[in-house]
Structure 1
């Protein structure tokens, strides 16, 4: 204990090189895939190499790290399902075996070797393990996390008996030291179970340090856990009886039915599935001795007592936690009531939101279907500085991420079979998106369909056909962390955030155009997306000119467009005018509108009257969506002075007129489309074969 205390307390009193070296784990020759020795780290520090990694690698710049190569997203069906370099549950067991062979000494940090080269722009991520203490709980995510974080993992040796309070001090020392060294770099603390308690305790003691907490199935609910029943049993069960193994095996992969379904989807046939599932179970059962080595009876008893202490201690200081927090809850956690606890913590912490994994077990990060990086992106939880920057902090979706999103929304493309028309520079209208400018900045300005149902096919088609990532300016209600059950679950909008959407504001608009992005803007906003009966394809734009001066400042090309088809998929039964006549509905609309951010407080007319409500709709037999992108309007060289309102208004009305022309063109032309209805489209697509796409279905003549 004295040795551990000396090691921790001495960190802040030595040089940067010595301090890092003392933090990292000494390893055996076999376990060089996990971390480098302290001697290697000292050498790396002297030579200016990347800390904690064998071999000199080229350090990626931030521009290289997020660069999207041409044709990256073409043919979504052929994109890889998994990221290259991803490890498996078997790798976890193998690395655990190597790590615990020479497991003496106090708790210390190590840096996974399989992570890519670090950059000084990356935030630091400290991983605090659960009851296993190995620090390898993120092994299936190292390949992706290492591309956007500098990762340090805490390893607590099997025979170590450092109490919870001393572990808190150790992590706190590292946090304070790193905060002093890089005051403008945020520090992420990612803790699972016991590690989540550690993270909360450290955050409570350091409210002024820029910390972001990611907590998976926090053990703050230990008093309600089944683990309590295990404690008295361990006192009376003989040492040779491996009581802990059934428990560990039952929680290792969560729901067995989920395992079966995942294997069915991956392997595609029942014989393969049975064989694959048998292999998975064999793998788990063959490593039972590793579980015994990780958690022998004495260690398990110690960890359970520590969990009880950690839970009580952490709950007593929750009021002092000010850090931004993301809680990840498993729906089928057999050890802790994680969903119930997540909701409790969300109400107790000021800046907290949750994400629920309905089919997952306690060891969330060791399950195949969980993508931690996508979860972080979707929650807008990644930043490199004091504040989130929608330009520099955005990381485009990887091919496998895009495939997951595309496949999950493929039914929309199948049901609506979008027709994309664009206009070339010579004015010729063509099918497809050839008329869309490749080089930004480009500003798409158009009509918002009912409930914004046109956004998904629009963004997906633009990426798959032209490899253009569209950054949408969306209503802040999709990003605000409002703790009100009447508002939609924030996770509903995770996909649009992963795809690059940001809250609409002048600052974000400026940042996107300055980064030469392709930007999507709907001047009609919420009023247009929640229009009323009889208002289909009617524009609700502000009377005063907007967006044109900013576009002209950066020489952006403005692409006016129209989208029709909402009236072919749903019919509004009760709109705002109907709902406000119902007392309880009127009260709810007023309260939700009051909680929402007002975008144009000084505006007049219809756009100033953006009530937040959900119209009651009746779905129809799906029709077809049509998009028409007009000829790009050049603003390069325009000098729109702030005081020159007349010239700005002229351009503004010209763009609006072009959008109205696009809508009128589509409404007229779709009447002659023989495949406007769903049944003819499905029959035609079936005649082409299973590999045919909706874009191959003919439409009206141009």
Structure 2
């Protein structure tokens, strides 16, 4: 139940670009790997001097062709780094390359200079390091239309997506229908080129309406929509009321731009506090805000702003009228402090209207969510379980290793649990010696950790954390499928689900276990499943395992080491007051449990007995004065070279019972030894940490 080589984009000069695609140029000083740019033959003569000039325009974008137009072009081979899924190292992030709101305005200013061309796609150079099988991500901008609204996300997005952004020039007056057709031509061309890959449409505000319109018109194409504060609520926004005022009151234009700018810069007081705490750059000065307002006025002069507002009105009406036709997988991001549109109410409404939809709420953010500090689109997509390279998600090959930021956030989320329980980790060396750390854990996989599931799976996350800290090994948790399903068949969205997906959780199935072991992963398995994690009163530390050996022969197929382990401590931190039997006697709770279990995915439907009795419910525990968690990992059991031997059912069953017996021995050992731990209770631990530092490791019993 529990609860990771840069490539170069270059292309030969094409003579067959789509009409909507014209050349863009990069600032070569920002990225020295630029080799060639795609330009149309009409522009070649007029721009050749510009390309070779020392004063290259400050644009870090390269024009993109659809596959249809690029078929005759020769692209450089793409190389990417591969990461072992056995010992998984944290992906390092470059703090110095993180962009700010100032970068958005600098890049927007460059993009709108002397630009009379039609709308077209471009790709940031910093998004050029993706692997060959990376799915395409099309960014559809908001009211600004510039296309650099993902500038703070480019570095990470570019590692897992082929990113294209739509640029709508300031003076362009292409209709809503024309822009939808442009997007459609691209996705149809790319779908024909790679029919087994999904295409991601990331739409911000106005762009979200474009994404919904395209999805409604192309239900046969595998699209994944990520919509940030969709402008489908335009009729109820403050911008709706400004259209008539802008036509007759020139001074209203400045007020409107100031309102848009305030939505970009967010809450100044919150920003100032966050920046001081994080030790990063100070918030925008008055001079900065004046510069931003000037650039915004260039992006949205009077006529353009009026045009964009009318475009918003048309786009919102069109998208709302066709929501019933949208079948695409959709993720809606909405802000709790959006001053431009009622995004929170709209996000909840769209969630009810769209059949395949999840939402994520950002309490303290404004309308331009993707430009704000601390918002990481890759982490959001990973947490929702929306990243895939094929028709269906592959939880092994599609897994993206944690970054240091993600791991630190994970540690912060479970900090209270870890601090209150001060986990003790014991492992066994090859000679049988027990040590008070994880040095007995193998570095290389495949390794299968088989153990008892504590109440509500409370032991899982601290275990994953300590394995990363002490051994730099990521343990993949095998969990019930309901944690990975959305709406029907799953649990309501909550933060713990996202965390489980981000740290590499995998739905329980024989196929997924096979994939994990074949990729030499470290895997955590609880044969007792929900029956142990949702046990009844008085059943603490009682194993509810199937009679047959579910995992032994599969482990031997890949020569995996099996490490039995015990984890105790649930009885030290909580006591069940209402278990399943109690709740089934209360009519209201009984009906809720029965209704939930009609929707939830059923496991082990082919077996009988107590282990098959796994109805989903939530035991009601009351907390105790916090005790301590203890983990004991027994001596690894080798299966390498025993594949033929363990094909014999009797021998396989014998090893299975041996593992089960070792788990029971580990639990018994911990229950006995913790009686002699002078720091089992929280008060002695607090006193120890007060004198030795609150990050100091608290001692335990003698081994």
TM-score (norm 1): 0.90
The answer as to 2:106 corresponding to 1:94 is yes
Query: What is aligned with 2:43?
Result: none
Residues 45-75 of structure 1, C-alpha deviations (whole Å, 9 max, x = no match): 855337xxxxxxxx433xx2445898955xx
Describe the SS at the equivalent of 1:292: helix
Query: What is aligned with 1:328?
Result: 333
Partner Cα distance (1:375, 1:65) in 2: 22
Aligned pair in 2 of structure 1 residues 257, 567: CA closer, same or farther (>3 Å)?
A: farther
Partner Cα distance (1:627, 1:153) in 2: 49
1:451 corresponds to which of 448, 456, 460: 456
2:420 corresponds to which of 415, 422, 435: 415
Query: What is aligned with 1:699?
Result: 700
After TM superposition, give the deviation of residue 596 of structure 1 in Å. 0.8
TM-score (norm 2): 0.89
Partner Cα distance (1:689, 1:149) in 2: 44
After TM superposition, give the deviation of residue 117 of structure 1 in Å. 2.4
Query: What is aligned with 2:137?
Result: 125
Query: What is aligned with 1:18?
Result: 16
Query: What is aligned with 2:282?
Result: 276
Work out the number of aligned pairs and report it: 662
Partner Cα distance (2:591, 2:287) in 1: 58
Partner Cα distance (2:532, 2:15) in 1: 58
The answer as to 2:469 corresponding to 1:468 is no
What aligned pairs does 1:355-374 form with structure 2 within 5 A after superposition? 355-374=360-379
Partner Cα distance (1:190, 1:16) in 2: 28
Aligned pair in 2 of structure 1 residues 601, 36: CA closer, same or farther (>3 Å)?
A: closer
After TM superposition, give the deviation of residue 642 of structure 1 in Å. 8.9
Partner Cα distance (1:289, 1:579) in 2: 63
Residues 50-108 of structure 1, C-alpha deviations (whole Å, 9 max, x = no match): 7xxxxxxxx433xx2445898955xxxxx988755221111111111111112211111
Query: What is aligned with 1:601?
Result: 605
2:61 corresponds to which of 17, 31, 35: 35
Residues 273-317 of structure 1, C-alpha deviations (whole Å, 9 max, x = no match): 9x924x456533332101111111211111111111111111111
The answer as to 2:356 corresponding to 1:351 is yes
Partner Cα distance (1:661, 1:668) in 2: 11
Query: What is aligned with 2:97?
Result: 85
Name whichever of 250-259 and 115-124 sits farther off. Answer: 250-259
- Verify the 8 A CA contact 1:25 1:35 in the aligned structure 2: no
Query: What is aligned with 1:242?
Result: 254
Aligned pair in 2 of structure 1 residues 16, 348: CA closer, same or farther (>3 Å)?
A: farther
- Verify the 8 A CA contact 2:448 2:563 in the aligned structure 1: yes
Name whichever of 408-417 and 256-265 sits farther off. Answer: 256-265
2:271 corresponds to which of 252, 259, 274: 259
Residues 388-438 of structure 1, C-alpha deviations (whole Å, 9 max, x = no match): 111211111012221222123222221111100000111110111111111
Residues 640-689 of structure 1, C-alpha deviations (whole Å, 9 max, x = no match): 68973322221111111000000000000001001111121122112123
- Verify the 8 A CA contact 2:567 2:667 in the aligned structure 1: yes
2:312 corresponds to which of 298, 307, 316: 307
2:126 corresponds to which of 114, 121, 145: 114
Partner Cα distance (2:440, 2:64) in 1: 57
Partner Cα distance (1:337, 1:26) in 2: 36
2:157 corresponds to which of 132, 145, 148: 145
1:380 corresponds to which of 366, 385, 405: 385
- Verify the 8 A CA contact 2:86 2:446 in the aligned structure 1: no
Partner Cα distance (1:67, 1:633) in 2: 23
- Verify the 8 A CA contact 2:64 2:121 in the aligned structure 1: no
Partner Cα distance (1:659, 1:146) in 2: 44
Describe the SS at the equivalent of 2:622: strand
Aligned pair in 2 of structure 1 residues 448, 37: CA closer, same or farther (>3 Å)?
A: closer
Name whichever of 425-434 and 635-644 sits farther off. Answer: 635-644
Query: What is aligned with 2:75?
Result: 48
Query: What is aligned with 2:34?
Result: none
What aligned pairs does 1:606-645 form with structure 2 within 5 A after superposition? 606-639=610-643, 644-645=648-649
After TM superposition, give the deviation of residue 18 of structure 1 in Å. 3.1
Partner Cα distance (1:474, 1:132) in 2: 43
- Verify the 8 A CA contact 1:555 1:637 in the aligned structure 2: yes
